[in-house]
Structure 1
Amino acid sequence: MINKINLKIKVNDITTICYGICVFVFVIGQSYLPASSAVLSMLCKGLRFVAVAVPALLFLKNSKFSIRNLVMWGLIALLIIGNIFFNQADSDLIYIVIFMLYCSKSKPEDVIKTYCISAFVGIVLVIAAWFIGAIPSEVRGGRACLGFYFATFGPNLFLHTVLAYIASRKNRIKLSRWILIEIVNVWFYKMTDTLAVFIIINAGIVLYYVFNIEKVKQVLFEGKVFKRILEVSPFACAIVTILAQYFYIEHYNEPMYMAVNVALSNRPYFGKIAIETYGISLFGQPITWLTGIDGTKVSGMDYFYVDSSYLQVLLKYGIIMLVVLCAVMMVVQCYSVLTRNVYMCLGCALFLIHCITDPQLLSFRYNPFIIASIACVGIIKSQKKIEKQGEDIYYE
């Protein structure tokens, strides 16, 4: 029995490490670093292959036949045979599903901590390469790209690293670390003018101290209303986003809504075009996004992109996929409430709010919470089973 337990722990540790390797490769894949060297590019592909294949071999060796395992092997085969060699964006969904299954027996906090470390190392490596001039130093519209393909990539990755750092904590964060985070936050804002990241990190610092007040914890985790609000927050964020978009569509010519559109960098306007062009369906449809840097034009436009995660998923993948994703994120918040994990709750809540304006919900490189969701399900079931047994003993 002891040997089996030790083997399970070892397998879980290895799969979590492989997740970290894959995150690291995806993060530096957002930069010019892999393209700077053919050897480095091949090394990144090799690391991704190893990160996917090693857990597969471990599970294959130690698991029995089941529908769950059959699904996992099918997805793994699809990834290894095809998607691993193509554009990362095309295989995001498959990577997410596979690592959700791989990390299903790990601790949610360990999964998120692994993301935090791997993403941080990737960011530091890219910026260090940019600083010494090893990769291109581009400035577009007064915004420095810092070695990444877009100016927003670096600060957004930093934001999600900070959110993962908060969510993975088991005890309080020292003031000195918050000061360091704020210094880096200000630097990113000065270099890239990414306002949303700057605001959310500052809001996170304030809310961190608010959430640590004992009275606030009691209200959040003991009051039925606030508990339910936290649990359904993914659906709430999605509904608010969609309703706000339709309000804009109805009133887009009015001065107030025009001002809102300017303040949100034309996000509502492009959401309007996308809904009117493609419509909303159960299963979505293929959409060609234009980023304005490769000269591609569609209907005379060289830029067309919906930044909001909820709108993007709704349009491209459909209503069913959006509901499934919100349900998956709801599991993480239910886990946070059940275990009274104030740090996980705060980190996930800020992530969901950021997804209102940015496209990180269905992204392997940005969303560690979705990877930890199945692990959360297992703990929720175990916790409820223990509570039920306790109730049965009490009534006996």
Structure 2
Amino acid sequence: MLVKKRDIIDFTYCFIWGFYVLINELNYTLLVDQSSFSIWVQVSRYTAIIVLLLLTLFNNTIPLRYGILVSIVVPLTIYATRTIYSLPIIVLVLFIVCAQQANFKHVVFTSLVAQLIVLALCLLGVFTGTVRDLVYTAEEGRIRHSLGYNYATYISKVFLFCLCYYFFLRKKVSLFEVIIFEGLNYLIFIYTNTRTVFYLASIFILAIYLVKRFNISDIKQPLKSLLVFVYPICAVFSFWIQRMYSSDPAKWSFLNLNNRLLMGKNALLEYGINLRGTNIIWVGMTAYTRNNLLTYNYVDNSYLYVLITYGVIFFSILMLFEIIIMQYAIHEKNFTLITILAMLAGYFIIESQIIDLAYNPFILLAGYSFSNTIRRRKKVGSTKL
């Protein structure tokens, strides 16, 4: 009976997770009319909240200490996010809280399937002429194709995260797979001309291959300490670069990738930073592409975006989550996961998906890590990732 109940909870969690990811990912594409489809995004959020609350009530095996911790973190998070973007954060926290009830590999597999479904629909639509392929001429005359997504950079992001999902699920990676993935990476680069993600994906593919090929079994202590705090370190580094650029834009202009530092400087000057966030109507490339009368103001740096939008309290909670996740990965000696998390820490300096559940399921490991740590201390045992 316990096994059956656990399987039902696992299936339900993965089903609602897949539904949420699929709907929110479709919202980034030209497969749907965003103005009318936004109602489905809201439906996915409220449905997730209801189902996750019911799952928590249905499952009576949650450790007491975990329950106490959750009763502190959830109200604090809700208090910390008083902005118009509070609803997605409530959904995020509930998914994290309930994550320990599901098999995380099933969750990652669900993310991979949902992303590949949307990707396949976009490419099929573009090549059959039923979905628009937006073509841009960027700096230096570069031609960029959106391939069914709202902007040219989206498909490269999808590819990078799909690599993360795939490598996490695979025990071994062959040289043939490396060649295939690098070929796909280059093909996407040819169409989208997204240089930074292309280079990052190439390094990532090689790093994962080496990690799996040589069966690394341990990490020396200085590197362990560095990895545990890699997210706060990347956050501080990105803030430092932002400050240097703001003080002398001409000197640091070579780091201003597609005006990322300029947009960060403008956002800091206009909105500042406070404890509980700021109500901001962010205009990203999706909105700007659909209506170029709007003023583009989006901040691509995840750390700066979260700090400005949600404030110091939530940003601190997020960094704590990332530290706990990395500690858990190191404790489990899951070097594939460690490599993925370290790569994403650097990636989030130039992109804003750190709390976007449509892309980043690894943040759910915060709840999984809390629960397994408590079970280990109670000598109940924990599940290997």
Task: Check conservation: 1:309, 1:361, Cα contact below 8 A.
Answer: yes
Match of 2:277, SS state, is coil
Partner residue in 2 for 1:250: 247
Pairs within 5 Å for 1:1-396: 3-35=1-33, 53-63=50-60, 91-141=87-137, 142-169=143-170, 171-212=171-212, 214=214, 217-218=217-218, 220=219, 223-254=220-251, 257-261=252-256, 264-291=257-284, 292-293=288-289, 294-297=291-294, 302-386=295-379
Task: Check conservation: 1:93, 1:364, Cα contact below 8 A.
Answer: no
Q: 1:69 to 1:335 in 2, by over 3 A?
A: closer
Letter in 2 for 1:228: S
Q: Distance in 1 between matches of 2:253 and 2:55?
A: 55
Q: Deviations over 1:209-234 (max 9, x none)?
A: 3324658542x2xx221111111111
Task: Check conservation: 2:301, 2:350, Cα contact below 8 A.
Answer: yes
Letter in 1 for 2:103: K
Task: Check conservation: 1:72, 1:98, Cα contact below 8 A.
Answer: no
Identity of aligned residues (%): 24
1:73 CA drift (Å): 11
Q: Deviations over 1:124-158 (max 9, x none)?
A: 22222222122222212221111111111121112
Task: Check conservation: 2:45, 2:87, Cα contact below 8 A.
Answer: no
Match of 1:271, SS state, is helix
Task: Check conservation: 2:48, 2:91, Cα contact below 8 A.
Answer: no
1:110 CA drift (Å): 3.1
Letter in 1 for 2:109: K
Q: Distance in 2 between matches of 1:253 and 1:44?
A: 41
1:15 CA drift (Å): 0.9
1:203 CA drift (Å): 0.8
Q: 1:210 to 1:373 in 2, by over 3 A?
A: same
Q: 1:210 to 1:270 in 2, by over 3 A?
A: same
Normalised to the residue count of structure 2, the TM-score between the two structures is 0.83
Match of 1:372, SS state, is helix
CA RMSD of aligned residues (A): 3.2
Match of 2:352, SS state, is coil
Match of 1:304, SS state, is coil
Q: Deviations over 1:82-123 (max 9, x none)?
A: xxxxx9x77432331222233222233332232222222222
Q: Distance in 2 between matches of 1:215 and 1:287?
A: 47
1:386 CA drift (Å): 3.9
1:52 CA drift (Å): 5.5
Show structure 1 runs of 5+ residues with no match: 75-86, 389-396
Q: 1:49 to 1:340 in 2, by over 3 A?
A: same
Q: 1:288 to 1:22 in 2, by over 3 A?
A: closer
Letter in 1 for 2:344: F
Task: Check conservation: 1:270, 1:306, Cα contact below 8 A.
Answer: yes
1:180 CA drift (Å): 2.4
Q: 1:12 to 1:71 in 2, by over 3 A?
A: farther
1:382 CA drift (Å): 2.6
Show structure 2 runs of 5+ residues with no match: 76-83, 138-142
Q: Deviations over 1:344-392 (max 9, x none)?
A: 111111111100011111212121111232012212333344499xxxx
1:61 CA drift (Å): 4.0
Task: Check conservation: 2:153, 2:194, Cα contact below 8 A.
Answer: yes
Q: 1:48 to 1:129 in 2, by over 3 A?
A: farther
Match of 2:100, SS state, is coil
Q: 1:134 to 1:95 in 2, by over 3 A?
A: farther
Letter in 2 for 1:173: V
Q: Distance in 2 between matches of 1:352 and 1:95?
A: 22
Q: Distance in 2 between matches of 1:124 and 1:198?
A: 20
Aligned pair count reads 361
Q: Distance in 2 between matches of 1:23 and 1:128?
A: 20
Q: 1:329 to 1:68 in 2, by over 3 A?
A: closer
Q: Distance in 1 between matches of 2:72 and 2:152?
A: 38
Q: 1:36 to 1:129 in 2, by over 3 A?
A: farther
